[in-house]
Amino acid sequence: MKRPPLDELISLWQATVAAQGTTTAPGAFVGNSFIDAGLSGAGVNSFVSMLAVIYPGEPLLVDSMDITAFDNVTGEVTLHENYKGGQIPTGAPYKIVTFRFVPAEVAAIMASLGAMDAAATADDLSDITTTSVQAKLRRILLRMSAATQIIQVPVTAPANAGDVVLATVTDQECSIGKVNVRSNGATTADLTNIGVYAGAGKVVTLIDSVTGARANIAAADQQVGNSPLGGVVLSPTKTIVITLTGTGATPVNLTVTIEYKACVSGGYLA
């Protein structure tokens, strides 16, 4: 294989250099910019994401940084981090290389996200305010995934409370799968039965009142559930409720577990 002609190699090498020169004024005091009036008028956003090499050819002084901004009026080039020697003075030679880099953009994203060890650990985000960037990111990632999601809801309402909302479909349609109701201890004799329903006017029966008779959830860890054929699809704002029927107001101690998937990215139960 023949090597390219020398003039072609030179042309390729020259094409990697967008600009070169010597600074005409001191840059920012902290060292994250340099100024060359000769660059003025190069064009808005020129050199952004390219690589600036300060003191090329001088090993003890050389440093390179990603370019994050360019002032088309003054010729000031802003760098993603400080030059190792501090403020870049007048008379410093530099080159701007056309290779494009993104460390500054990555750093900006990480700074916006903050420490991920502060992110939510509960799937329902109950352990962190949903206004935080971390919680928003976690919610987006969870709701975009095609994996089955689970929400668990404690029920401690009076045995004769009637309808208690367990969850509301939010943002996009969701397909509801298995629903399980578990007793966490001896169930009060005030309770006659429970039923779990979904949709407008409780039109969809997930667990009927016969299956949900107190006798089936009378002791700790007794539980009842469903296995809907093909699942049940609910649109946003539709609810899933548990109906408590009883003869007195003694609180129950139940946990309802609902498996579901988002039909469209972004859907979830809350």
Q: What residue ranges define each of the domains in the chain, with the CATH number in brackets?
A: 6-108 (2.40.30), 114-144 (no CATH), 147-269 (2.60.120.340)
**Segment 143-166, tens digit of pLDDT:** 555 578 899 999 999 999 999 999
Top pLDDT among 253 and 111 is at 253
User: Looking at residue 90, what is its pLDDT?
Assistant: 94
Query: pLDDT tens-digit profile of 190-242?
Result: 999 999 999 999 999 999 999 999 999 999 999 999 866 557 899 999 999 99
Q: Which residue type sits at 186? A: A
Query: How many angstroms separate the CA atoms of 33 and 115, rounded?
Result: 28
Give the Cα separation of 14 and 8 in Å (integer): 10
Q: What is the mean pLDDT of residues 90-107?
A: 78
Burial of 115 (0-12, 13-18, 19+ CB in 10 A): exposed
